Amino acid sequence: MAGLASIRRNGHKIEIVNQLLLPHTVEFIPITSIEEAHDAIKSMKIRGAPAIGSLAALAVASDLGRALESAPAPSFLESPQALKEYIQPKLDYLYTARPTAVNLGGATRRLANALQSGINAAKDAKTIARDLIAEGQAIDDEDVSRNKAMAKWGGEWLVDQVKQKGGSGKELNVMTVCNTGSLATSGYGTALGLITYLHETGHLQNAYFTQSTPYHQGSRLTAFELQSLQIPSVMLCDSMVGSLFQHNNIAGIAVGADRIARNGDTANKVGTYNAAVLAARHGIPFIVVAPVSTVDLDIADGSSIPIEHRPPLEACLVRGALFPFSENAEGTRAQATVMVTPEGLTGVYNPSFDVTPAELITAIVTEKGVAIKEKGQTSFDLSKVV
């Protein structure tokens, strides 16, 4: 069974599921402009590194698709230079929506490169626009098959590790952080893809997932996806990871990534680093699962990864369905946002991501395979998996 898709496409029309309302309300909202795409990414109506890259690319493709169909054609389709002057600022603007996930910059850079190649090849503006549409759609399309590939690589690797230590490779308990499933990607997921693969191949006992506060990607989104996929799962609060590792047989931790530096240092949802420190203490394999497009070879190590800090207010609020459940006039569950801190609290530390040093990571899995560190090394050579 496929999970809920974060983006729906029909010709040049795009809709996204409003992740702020999940899991109690499944509402698709149309994205009809670059500005709406920027706002949806910034406000986290759509989130997850690959998904925001896909939306940015599709928003540009759909903007150009509408332009090509309109009569009279807009003036920016009259010359390649005019097209560049129209599109480049839009790419730059989309890129500013969120800073940490490299996929957003990767998607906008790919479109900028396609634009420049068209200009260099002396193509006319309409042909370049059509090339950009194809490139934008390819960015979204490529995601699902590469997720399936990395899920298989990582799943088989973990089963093998367990067998090497004398285990059967069956009934594995695997923990994850945040949400890395079909809502965070174009389908199947990265770390959640690995867990899905283990379930589909009969190797999984339970998927454990942290709530991932303050945005609750775990308790709202991963819980929802695992339920729809009928994968046995157990939620824990972020502060319970140490306890889980002390009292349960956890075969591995699989997490996604927003940006992986050349040495393997990995930025991912805040709380990932805590889990990695505890995993090292307990000798549990810690696996990062992410597409090649999440690896930023321009950055030597994690110290140069820009970390997004979200508005303080977001850490003071919790949104959800009123409980006991009640239906509102539209027949949907009434939702509310409540403040859980005293009014006027100003001192709030709210980084959205943290960086896990390569030293604490056992394996980095991409669609090309599994990288592990050479014996005695604290960083990865990622050249074989990028």
- Which residues belong to the active site? 258
- Part in contact with ligand MRU (CB under 6 A); list of ranges 54-62, 229-237, 252-260, 366-374: 252-260
Tell me which of 56, 94, 149, 178 binds ligand MRU, using CB under 6 A. Answer: 178
> How does DSSP assign 95-138, residue by residue?
HTS-SS-HHHHHHHHHHHHHHHHHHHTT--HHHHHHHHHHHHHH
By the rule CB under 6 A, 293 interacts with ligand MRU: no
- Part in contact with ligand MRU (CB under 6 A); list of ranges 43-51, 72-80, 197-205, 222-230: 43-51
For ligand MRU, which residue has the nearest CB?
256
Query: CB of 59 within 8 A of CB of 94?
Result: yes
- Residue 67 CB coordination number (10 Å): 19
Q: String of b and e for 257-267 (b: at least 16 CB within 10 Å)?
A: bbbbbbbbbbb
Contact positions with ligand MRU (CB under 6 A) in 126-165: none
By the rule CB under 6 A, 269 interacts with ligand MRU: yes
By the rule CB under 6 A, 266 interacts with ligand MRU: no
By the rule CB under 6 A, 48 interacts with ligand MRU: yes
Supply the minimum distance, in Å, between the C-beta of residue 308 and ligand MRU.
Answer: 8
Length of the chain: 386
Which residues make Cβ contacts (< 8 Å) with residue 13, sequence separation at least 6? 30, 62
Supply the minimum distance, in Å, between the C-beta of residue 366 and ligand MRU.
Answer: 12
Question: At residue 227, what is the residue type?
Answer: Q
- Between 131 and 354, CB nearer to ligand MRU: 354
Q: Report d(CA 183, CA 63) in Å as an integer.
A: 23
> How does DSSP assign 43-54, residue by residue?
TTSS-SHHHHHH
Among residues 221, 177, 311, the alpha carbon closest in space to that of 20 is found at 221
Question: How many chain residues interact with ligand MRU (CB under 6 A)?
Answer: 17
Between 188 and 217, how does the x/- string for binding to ligand MRU read (CB under 6 A)?
--x--------------------------x
Query: CA distances (Å), 147 to each of 337, 371, 376, in order?
Result: 34, 16, 30
- Between 129 and 382, CB nearer to ligand MRU: 382
Tokens of 67: 């332009």
By the rule CB under 6 A, 99 interacts with ligand MRU: no
- Between 245 and 353, CB nearer to ligand MRU: 353
By the rule CB under 6 A, 352 interacts with ligand MRU: yes
Q: At residue 110, what are phi and psi to the nearest 5 degrees? A: -60, -40
By the rule CB under 6 A, 50 interacts with ligand MRU: yes
By the rule CB under 6 A, 186 interacts with ligand MRU: no
Binding site for ligand MRU (CB under 6 A): 47-50, 101, 178, 180, 184-185, 190, 217, 256-258, 268-269, 352
